[in-house]
Chains A and B, each alone.
Chain A
Amino acid sequence: MARIFLDDAANGSGDDRFAAPAQPVNLSRRRFLLGSAGAATGALVLGFGIPVGPARAQGPAAPAPKALDVPAFLEIRPDNTVRFLSPFMEGGQGVFTAMAQIVGEELDMDPAVFDVEAAPAGKVFQIMFGGTMRITGGSMSVRTSYDTMRRLGASARAMLVSAAAQRLGVGSDTLTTEPGKVIHAASGRSLSYGELAEGALDMGVPEAGRVSLKDPKEFRWIGKPVARIDMHAKSTGQAMYAIDSQVENMLQAAVQHAPRLGLQPGAIRNEAAVKAMPGVHSVHTLDGAVAVIAPYWWHARQAADALDVDWQDPGESADVRYMPADFATEAFTKHLSSQTGRGEEAESAGDSAAAFASAAKVVEGEFTSQYLHHAQLEPPSTLARFNDDGSLDLWMPNQGPEIFQAAIAAKTGLAPEKINIHSPLLGGFFGRHFQYTWGNPYPHAIALAKATGRPVKLIWSREEEFLRDPMRPMAVVKFKGALDAEGWPVGLDVVSVCEGPGEGIANKRGEKLDDSALEGITAKSYAIPNRRIAQLYVKNPITLAYWRSVGNSMNDFFYESFLDEMADAGGKDPYALRLKLLEGNERLTTLLNAAVELSGGWKRGPFTAADGTRRARGIAMASPFGSEAAAVAEVSIQDGQVVVHDVWEAIDPGSIVNPAIVEAQVNSAVALGLSQVLVEGAEYEAGMPVARNFDVYQILRPEQMAKVHVKIVESGAEMGGIGEPPLPAIPPAVANAVSVLTGKRVRVMPLSKESFEA
């Protein structure tokens, strides 16, 4: 068997165990290691980053690499199938398929024969940004690994061709490949990759300069709507998520969290009664929670819910993000709104003060967004198992194994290489599964496994999840626009009163502004020459998080809605205004026109549709995560509530790998965007969430989904993201349509808080 490893030594991390050339490496020569790493006998194994022996730069105590450190990416098996370890987690965004397409393209192997698994934690899998990190987030997976994965596939193909040349006694240049086999056309002979794998075992990987990549014109799979490889498993209940993990001798746990973060458990008033409940194994007092353990989770959960805990309130402390007993979102919104400071500048251009002093007209608007749950349908869980050799296995949903490995090493004192992070499929993520200090089940799962001496799977009930899910921040944003005598915008002054997600997660303000607080208000492409955009930081008691499209998820709603307000005030059509402000920007002009053409031409309304309903359309744009998006939405009002009938969205990610996945992701992002603007919002009263489950917390229901029409524009610009970018233009497109239809500007999400008349 043969494996190829790509080296990431040039990462400056100081971890010399993986020092290696910056190109693929054949690991098959290390057969003794590979066997214990689970590779098939006779398979060709390739990777980036190869363990080169004990650390050179470290002292004698440095550990030698273990067999399980062998970091294979690609294994070509004797049965002519491929096993691929993806650095990126699959959570519905289609990345396993995209990886198979990219590697398969250059390898010349059908993506359908790839078995893709999530790679474990390890330096070698940190292939992003020159080998410095690896996360599944920021819509970065494909665009940061595209070249790397192509090189990996191409190197493997070259080695298989060399092996065939040796076997057949012909020159490599007389050979070609067809999917899964090498062909010698002159003699009509062919050999499958599986047959050749063993012959490639001892070969060197061709030097980077000698591996040629395909001309994109010859792509067989990249750029095509290749079927996703996990559809059957996901349609038959066979797909395995963290919550489905089971190991021998496992117990299960449920917790009752402190009702407010910062409180600690005191006496359990009914401990004896709870211990006597059916199935209960034991009761455990933890940091900020009490847990019940049972063989079956339902018993644990019934008992955890029954716990009568005397919660102690030690008051605010620097160690925890304390939730005050009187916190209420309504009052907090007023508090944010009442701030009058000018904030700290995030972006400025021209002379904003002068522009307002000489403005023919000044427009003002204050906008408000809401806290949002991730509301991924799989509740968080972690299965923790301490092994006899002192290592710790964890099965947990995660968007970055090394981040968790490092955090757990710091918490437990275990060496990172003793912590094995298993990453099953994610039952939705949307930013939920990063390391959040008070927002992941793993610390309690580890504590319980330690306390019981048995593997423990902790599952958070939906109610406990909605108590500890860190949320998308809310903001109150004060806009001022200056118009010239002709009604064109010439000045913009914005103060966002908010705490950014990065600031919330760190639980303190950083030295620099949190970019994710204002992205979507900053870095817009419109030619408004005089700008001052600032953040007025106000710390939130709520724990905060990344949420699909992060700051853009709300900031484009604010900006693009206010842009329409400026258009209205200046007597301009919002489509014409955008075109004017984008003059000379060919990429965005093309994109905006593409969205409008897709919708059948610009028709703002109000107008009467064929079914007799009064309708209107709104338009908006966004530039998130390296891609560009433009959307048109058509709405009507039914029983006082907004109905979104159609969304037409044009998206330009530069270039793409799979148009069918792009279309699915646009649908998905539209659904989340609609959910946010129409129905969603997490509220607090008296320090507690009002909604603890889906009976009260609304997410978009099937009948609220719009028809989605997608136009992919490949401008050839640098490749951008696709999971998040289609979202941010949706809320403002809807809000702008509603404003036209009702004659009332929309400045607050969600729209379900108000009643409308068409």
Chain B
Amino acid sequence: MSAARHEYLLRLGDNALILSQRLGEWCGKGPALEEDMALTNVALDLLGQARLLLSLAAEAAGNGADEDSLAYHRDDREFRNVLLVEQPNGNYADTLARQFLFDAWSSLALRRLLTSSDAAIAAIAEKAVKEVSYHLRRSSDLMVRLGDGSERSHAMLQTAIDKVWPYSHELFIGDAVDAEMTAAGIGFDPASLQDEWLAYVREVFAEATLKLPAAGGWMPKGGKQGLHSEHLSKLLAEMQVLQRSHPGASW
């Protein structure tokens, strides 16, 4: 049980951490000042959520680990984030498509966790759900503005969605850890979010005049179990280099 809970917290925490790091790469390079601020604000919220979740995981492990050692001293195979969040930023449409699909999922996932039998997890969700609702409002609005915008913005966003879409399937695939957490009332069955998620995505796509990719096809998975794309290794190289070279450095 405690092993499954640890895994579960790493999954939630790593999703937030890795997406935060990705968004941070935009800092100073956003297409407009307002977008630059928005992306880094979202990154900051996610980093805060990651800190709370990873601290909780470390605390329960009781092996001297802390949020920093989990972030900086694990190898790629030890990360438990879904493949979606480690996908490269690409152009702005790619970043936005990834963000929208994640925000819509995260907002539903956190609302499930509000009623978790684990009080510490429910408290983190209570804090995070307000932030993610705000993120989702922004990413939904931008989907509509760019999707139903110029010919060029529409085409770029549609291409971006088609490219990132296969990675959304993993969000809804459960395994033994999910089953154990669901049975304990701590977590939820990932598959149970899919209909509501799809309904919301469909609604926004309709308003954005975007086409929903066909069902089926390629469905990469494995991130939750530690099998990642090479993109994660490169992301970690940049995120971890300082603490790997100078362990424990602070300023």
The reply to whether chain A is a binding partner of chain B is no
Chain B interface (Cβ < 8 Å from any Cβ of A): none
Chain A interface (Cβ < 8 Å from any Cβ of B): none
